[in-house]
Structure 1
């Protein structure tokens, strides 16, 4: 199965998601957060750096839970506003 290439918007949103998760991790080590999320350190590193622009939902949910970030907050902060719509 060949996966279609990602758009620039999808890549940008992956980088934004990674940055939000990295910021929420704060001073906690990657090892501790990855262990708490039940994923490998390498997976966490790739997501935080935006190298996995479309990570699996349950992976994101596990990381968000490990760093205490609500999924609805993560969604709100990682979804770009609609064109022409002002944000608060």
Structure 2
């Protein structure tokens, strides 16, 4: 299966998601968050570092639940920035 290259917008959104998750995790260990979310620590690491910039909805939902943040908040923070004319 051939993957279509990610756009710069998708890569930037992945970077912002990773930063959001790192900020929300704070001092908690990546392993603890991964275990609460039912994910591997490597999956969380890849998302946080931007190496997996387009995780599935269910992965994001699991991380949001483990971190105690709402999907609405994630959506708002990751929405494309509107440009004023």
- Inter-partner Cα distance in structure 2 for 1:23 and 1:71: 15
Which 4+ runs in 1 deviate beyond 4 A? none
- Tell me the residue number matched to 1:64: 64
In 2, the alpha carbon distance for the partners of 1:39 and 1:67 equals: 13
* Aligned match of 1:43: 43
Distance in 1 separating the partners of 2:83 and 2:2:
31
Give the TM-score of the pair, scaled to structure 1: 0.91
Q: CA deviation at 1:82?
A: 2.3
* Shift in Å, 1:83: 2.6
Q: TM-score, normalised by structure 2?
A: 0.94
Cα RMSD (Å):
1.1
Structure 1 residue 78, shift from structure 2 partner: 1.2
Unpaired segments ≥5 residues, structure 1: none
Aligned residue pair count: 85
Q: Distance in 2 between matches of 1:70 and 1:22?
A: 15
> Partners of 1:20 and 1:68 in 2: how far apart?
12
Q: Distance in 2 between matches of 1:16 and 1:41?
A: 19
Shift of 1:37: 0.2
Q: 1:3 deviation in Å?
A: 1.4
